[in-house]
Structure formats: C-alpha cells, structure tokens
Amino acid sequence: MFFKRVVALLGLVLAACARSSTGDSVLVVLDSSLDKEAYSVFWDGLVDKGYSLTFRSHKDARPAVVEDEVAQFNHVVVFAPDSKNLPQDLTPQSLVALLDKGTNLLLALSSKKQTTINTLASEFSLVLPPPGTPLISHFPARDTPATVVPVPPPHAHPVLTAGLPPVWFSGVPFAYTPNPLLLPLLNAPAEAFAADTTSDAGADAVVEAADRAGEGLWAGSSLALAAGFQATTGARATFVGGVEMFSNEFAQKELPQGKLSGNKQFAQDVASWSFQESNALRIDKVKHHRVNETEPRETYTINDNVVFTMHVSKFNSNKDTWEPYSGIQDMQLEFTMLDPHIRTALSPVPGQPGEYSVTFRVPDRHGVFKFIVDHKRKGWTHLQSTTVVPVVPPQHDEYPRFLSAAWPYYIGAMSTSVGFVLFSALWLAGDDREGKKKGIKTE
Amino acid sequence: MAPKSTAAAKQPTTSTPSALHETSPAAAGNAVQSLLKAYNETTSPRLKLIDAFLVFLMIAGVLQFVYCVLVTNFPFNAFLAGFGSCVGQFVLTASLRSQVNPANRNEFKDVSPERAFADFALGSVVLHFFVYNFLG
C-alpha cells in the first residue's frame, strides 16, 4: 500500500515536471568554442518550462546518447556548428538511428565549413550552398554587418507565436526540396542572398559563377533559414542555419526600428515544436459498430450501415496533459479493399470534445476491408490508423422473406393444397356411395 | 395416355360451347360436340372429379408460368415451389386417374383403387411438405 502510494506520488511528480509529450531530458552538445553562458536565455527558457538539461562538450564521449541500444535522452541539441568531427555517437548515422528511436533533434548548421551536420542536412532534403557563403542582406539600413540580418517571421504559421517581431539571423541559408515531411520555419527576406564576400566588387563574378553552375543565384525568399523535418516515426529534427539565433546577444539586440527582437520567443517556439511539445496529436481510441448497436462486429455484411468513431487528443504543454482536440476539420476516413471504396469526411462531433464520427453504408461488395485514417499535415503529428474488418455476403437466413412480388406463387402453392384437400374429401365422400354401388354391382 | 386425351377432351367444356358452334366449321363443331357427348355419357363421376382437378392444376400452373415470364421470377425459389407443386400434383393425380380408370383394369390388376388413392395421398403429402419448405 505504502509502496503504491510512493509510486503514484513519484508518477505525479514526474508528470508535473515533464513539459514535452515524449519526455523532459535534454542533452546539449556544445562546441568547446561556444560559451554556455552566451546562450543562457535559451537554456533558462527551457529549464523554466521543466526540461532537465545535461551539457556535454563536443569532444567528450560521455554521457553517451545511447546506452545498451536505449536512448538516454528524449531530445538532443547539437550546437557544434564548426567542429568537423563529432564523437562516435553523434555521427550522421547515429543521429538518424536516434530519430528512429523517437529522439528529437535540434541541429545547428555551419556557415564556414563542410561539417558532418551539413552533410546530414542533405539527407533531410535540404540543399546547402558551398561552404563559406553566409546569408547577406544590405536592407534595411542598420548598424550591424551585412551578415547579421533581421528576418520577419511568417505571418500565419502553425508553430510560431502570432505577431512575432523580426528575428536576428546570422548564418547559412539553404534550399528546400519538395519533401512533404519538411516544415519551413523561417525563410530569408526577399532582398537577401548567399555570397562568399560582403564587398560588392565581386558581384559580377557571383552572377557569372551562378550562371555557369546552372543552379541560379542563392537568393530570395525561397531560401530557408530554419526548417523542421518530421520523421515517419513522429520524431522531429530541426535544422537552423546559424547557432547565433539562440544567443543572448541576439535575444537582447534591438531591431533597426528600436523594438526588441523576437529571437527569445522564436527560439522557444522552435524548441517546443522540435521537442514535440506543440502540435503533438495522438489517436486515443478507434471504434466501429453497426448503427443502433454499441459493440464492434467480427464481420460486417454488405450494405450494413456502420458508424466509425475516433478520439483524438492534443498535448497541452501548459497543463502537461493530453486534452481532447476537435480542431481538425479536414480529416478523412477511407474504407479500402485495395482501392478506397469509400472516402468520406470524418468530422468532429459537436458537443463531444475530441470525437470524430461518420456513418456510412458498407459497399455492396464482400472481401477484406480496412478502415484507414491517414491524416498528414505539415507541422502536425501524423495520425494513422488501420483496422482490418471482413465484409461478408448475407448468411442464408439473412435474406428478406415472403416478398410481395411472390404472392402469386404463394397463392398457387396454397391453392394446390386446398385443391388437394377438397379433392380428397370429395373422393372419400363419393367412395362410400360408389363402393356400395360397386359392391352391389359386383355382388 | 389416358389423362392426356381426357384433359384435352375436357378443355372445351371450360369455354362456352355455343361460341364454339358459331366460330368453328360445322364438321369440327360436330366432332367436338360428339366428343363432349361421348365423354359426358361414358366417363364415371369419379373420373370427372379427377379431370376437373387436373384442369384446375393446369390453369394454376399456366398462370404462374405466365406471371414468371411477364412479371418476375424473383424470388425464384417461390416460383419453383409454386409451379412445382402444380406440376407434381398434376402428375400424381394423373397417375391416380390411370390406376382407378376401369378401362385400365387389365394393366393394374394387383392395385386396388383404395391402394391407388392411398399412394396418391401419401405422395401428395410428401410433395406439399417439400413445396412449403421451399416456398419462403
């Protein structure tokens, strides 16, 4: 009894501490050239939310990220942009393996050298410019170097706080490929470009080189500065073009207009998405049954009317609980045998938080069907559910009987019987008389 | 043999004889009339009862077949049961007629009319059992 109480209490305490839907332990791998205190605003923000941070130099091998094939941390932050070699447990292969185990990653790219993290980015469908070509913008007029650029964040974004002021950025831009798993977090301003020199003397050479290489200029608002990637396991990896975005200096730096920059909030938004704190969904329960019943059937008969119900929750990081979530308007249910025979909207039920339901008629076709929900939206956890259910033709005793169209046949059969009875009666009635007559005759 | 001829002979009685006189040529009319007369005079009442039942069964069967062809054969089991009951009852009744006909006494020496009726009744009961089992 006492033991149970302790366990329950421990569980409560742990739950109260956790601020992410997957856990609260974070390993931060810092380049030894970076000062930990220079990023204290970001660390303090994470600690305030309830994360427990473990720091480690990029040269150290301990504490290990994975021990006995078990990931020791829920989230890994690698702020080691300019170190060419990372230890064995942080090679690109190890980091991909970490994603497979469900560990979330926050990675900073280097603008100076070709590092292993930069190589890894291309595996996530991000294309980096040649090493040593940081983002440059001469607009707006300001007193900072051309490589330190204020970037206005996107207006309506599923992850970022609305109305965020521009953020300072210094680092390397990169290009997207049309990978549906990518989530653009921050794009470069339209007048920004990537070049290896800030002087305008070599501008013609830059254009010429771009023409010769055939890949165009690295310029414009389609360049990415920060991008998220959600793996099929649900784990998230975020690539940021420059680690300075998270620094105290940028967080406290005033914008040319005189306002405070949005870096502090931006860094927390990016971290909360990366650590599966925001936009984390899950399917709680999937139910299916015939109309006017409550229990699921082993099999369904063709043309049955079937109700499919699903409960979806969203993680609330403020209360640290999963809460019913009815905000998805475009969810679809497919009833599939090889092809979707039915594809219908799975709409939220008014008055039932988190419940999505649809009633439909099973097609006039028997076979092994599947209820499939496959909801994939950029920036949100993928919702996938598959339930196999056989659809059979009616049993021999489930067909309709005594149809009105068959009444002539029923009357025919009954009249034959009545006729038989009448005939027998008349025959037997006549038998006595005739028997007597016959008897008389024969006698 | 016998049931066929008698059934054919019986049929004109269902239509009006007077109409037959007017439309048919005189010779054919005479032949039919004499056939009717001979049938009325030489057939015993018991055989007439059988013949009436046979005609009734035939009409019921034809009506069901026409309904099946013109309207619907669905549900087919009901059609088979209804039509089959008419055909089966017709066959049983026709065999009863051939066994109790005094003209066939030589061929059915060891079958008494009572025995023939008992066979007929038993066969009919079995037939109706199957028919109602198949009807629904």
Q: Break chain A into its structural domains and give their ranges.
A: 2-274, 281-392
pLDDT at A201: 67
- Sign of the CA dihedral running A292, A296, A297, A301: positive
Query: Measured between alpha carbons, how far is A328 from A10 in angstroms, rounded to an integer?
Result: 35
B66 and A CB contact within 8 Å:
no
Q: Do B53 and A405 touch (CB under 8 A)?
A: no
Strand partners, A53: A26
Distance from CA of A351 to the nearest CA of B (A): 47
Query: Measured between alpha carbons, how far is A406 from B82 in angstroms, rounded to an integer?
Result: 9
Indicate the pLDDT class of residue A105, thresholds 50, 70 and 90.
Answer: very high
Query: Measured between alpha carbons, how far is A414 from A424 in angstroms, rounded to an integer?
Result: 15
CA distances from A224 to A192, A218, B113, B128, B134 (A): 11, 11, 107, 86, 76
Number of other residues whose CB lies within 10 A of the CB of residue A426: 15
Indicate the pLDDT class of residue A55, thresholds 50, 70 and 90.
Answer: very high
CA distances from A209 to A215, A234, A283, A329, A436 (A): 9, 40, 51, 48, 130
CATH homologous superfamily for the domain A281-392: Macroglobulin (MG2) domain (2.60.40.1930)
Query: Measured between alpha carbons, how far is A253 from A181 in angstroms, rounded to an integer?
Result: 33
The residues on A that touch B, with CB distances below 8 Å, are 401-403, 405-406, 408-413, 415-417, 419-420, 423-424, 426-427, 430-431, 434
Per the CB < 8 A criterion, the answer to whether A141 and A134 are in contact is no
pLDDT at B90: 96
Query: Measured between alpha carbons, how far is A247 from A54 in angstroms, rounded to an integer?
Result: 18
> What are A137-149's pLDDT values in tens digits?
888 888 888 889 9
Cis peptide preceding A166, ω within 30 of 0: no
Per the CB < 8 A criterion, the answer to whether A186 and A127 are in contact is no
- What mean pLDDT is predicted for residues A71-96? 87
Give the CA dihedral A89, A90, A91, A92, nearest 10 degrees: 120
Per the CB < 8 A criterion, the answer to whether A153 and A264 are in contact is no
* A261: nearest Cα among A349, A325, A165, A393: A165
Residues of chain A contacting residue B121, judged by C-beta atoms under 8 Å apart: 424
- What mean pLDDT is predicted for residues A377-397? 93
Radius of gyration of the CA atoms of chain B, in A: 18
* B83: nearest Cα among B94, B73, B95: B73
Q: What is the complex's ipTM, to 2 decimals? A: 0.79
Query: Measured between alpha carbons, how far is A244 from A318 in angstroms, rounded to an integer?
Result: 28
Got the DSSP string for A21-41? SS--EEEEEE-TTS-GGGGHH
Residue B96 in domain: yes
pLDDT at A115: 86
- What mean pLDDT is predicted for residues A350-370? 95
Q: Do A406 and B79 touch (CB under 8 A)?
A: yes
Q: Which domain holds residue B62?
A: 45-135
Looking at per-residue confidence, does A211 or A359 come out higher?
A: A359
A420, A421, A433: best to mutate for the B interface, most B CBs within 10 A: A420
pLDDT above 80: residue A243: yes
The token pair at A207 is 């254009």
Query: Measured between alpha carbons, how far is A166 from A168 in angstroms, rounded to an integer?
Result: 7
pLDDT above 50: residue A313: yes
pLDDT above 60: residue A212: yes
Q: Which CATH number fits domain A2-274: 1.10.10, 3.30.310, 3.40.50, 3.30.70?
A: 3.40.50
Residues of chain A contacting residue B119, judged by C-beta atoms under 8 Å apart: none
Interhelix angle B45-70/A407-442, rounded to 10 degrees, is 170
Whole-model pTM over 0.90: no
Give the DSSP H or E segment for B19: helix B17-23
* A24: nearest Cα among A226, A270, A235, A320: A320
Residue B100 in domain: yes
pLDDT at B4: 45
Per the CB < 8 A criterion, the answer to whether A167 and A388 are in contact is no
Residue B110 in domain: yes
Give the DSSP H or E segment for A212: helix A203-213
* B133: nearest Cα among A422, B125, B74: B125
Residues of chain A contacting residue B89, judged by C-beta atoms under 8 Å apart: 416, 419-420
Got the DSSP string for A413-435? HHHHHHHHHHHHHHHHHHHHHHH
* B46: nearest Cα among B8, B78, B6: B6
> What are A172-188's pLDDT values in tens digits?
999 999 999 999 999 99
Q: Is A443 helix (H, G, I), strand (E, B) or coil?
A: coil
Query: Measured between alpha carbons, how far is A33 from A45 in angstroms, rounded to an integer?
Result: 22
Per the CB < 8 A criterion, the answer to whether B93 and B55 are in contact is no
B57, B58, B87, B115: best to mutate for the A interface, most A CBs within 10 A: B57
> What are A316-327's pLDDT values in tens digits?
988 889 999 999
CA distances from A59 to A64, A109, A434, B28, B134 (A): 12, 17, 125, 125, 87
Residues of chain A contacting residue B64, judged by C-beta atoms under 8 Å apart: 408-409, 412
Which parts of chain B sit beneath pLDDT 70?
A: 1-25
Mean pLDDT (chain A) is 87
pLDDT at A12: 45
Please tell me the total count of domains within chain B. 1
